[in-house]
Amino acid sequence: MPSPLEKARRDPDSTKARILKKARTIFGEYGFHGATTRMIADEAGIDISTLYYHWGEKGDLYEAVVIDISTDLQQKLAEVESIVRGRPLAERMDIAIDCMTDYLFEHPEISNLVLFRYFAKTRDESLVDFRVPEVVSDIARSMGLCKDKKRVPNIVKMHVLAMMNAIHSFVSGESFFRSMLDIQRDEYVSMVKETLKFILLPAFAGPASKKGIQD
Site residues for DNA per CB under 7 A:
15, 35-38, 46-50, 52-54, 56-59, 123
Q: Which of 51, 65, 77, 200 binds a copy of itself (CB under 8 A)?
A: 200
Amino acid at 84: V
Residue 49 binding target from DNA, a copy of itself, none, CB below 5 to 8 Å by type: DNA
Residue 38 binding target from a copy of itself, DNA, none, CB below 5 to 8 Å by type: DNA
Min dist CB 184 to a copy of itself, Å, is: 12
Which is closer to DNA, CB of 123 or CB of 150?
123
Cα angle 129-111-181, degrees, rounded to a multiple of 5: 155
Site track for a copy of itself across 113-152, x = CB under 8 A: --xxxxxxxxx--------xx--x----------------
Residue 47 binding target from DNA, a copy of itself, none, CB below 5 to 8 Å by type: DNA
Query: Does residue 172 bind a copy of itself (CB under 8 A)?
Result: yes
Min dist CB 50 to a copy of itself, Å, is: 22
3-state secondary structure the chain: CCCHHHHHHHCCCCHHHHHHHHHHHHHHHHHHHHCCHHHHHHHHCCCHHHHHHHHCCHHHHHHHHHHHHHHHHHHHHHHHHHHHCCCCHHHHHHHHHHHHHHHHHHCHHHHHHHHHHHHCCCCCCCCCCCCHHHHHHHHHHHCCCCCCCCCCCHHHHHHHHHHHHHHHHHHHCHHHHHHHHCCCHHHHHHHHHHHHHHHHHHHHHCCCCCCCCCC
Residue 189 binding target from a copy of itself, DNA, none, CB below 5 to 8 Å by type: none
In order of 9, 25, 46, 206, the CA distances from 67 in angstroms are: 11, 14, 23, 36
Residue 43 binding target from DNA, a copy of itself, none, CB below 5 to 8 Å by type: none
Min dist CB 83 to a copy of itself, Å, is: 24
Amino acid at 154: N
Query: Does residue 159 bind a copy of itself (CB under 8 A)?
Result: yes
Query: Does residue 74 bind a copy of itself (CB under 8 A)?
Result: no
Q: Which of 11, 181, 212, 213 binds a copy of itself (CB under 8 A)?
A: 181
Query: Does residue 212 bind a copy of itself (CB under 8 A)?
Result: no
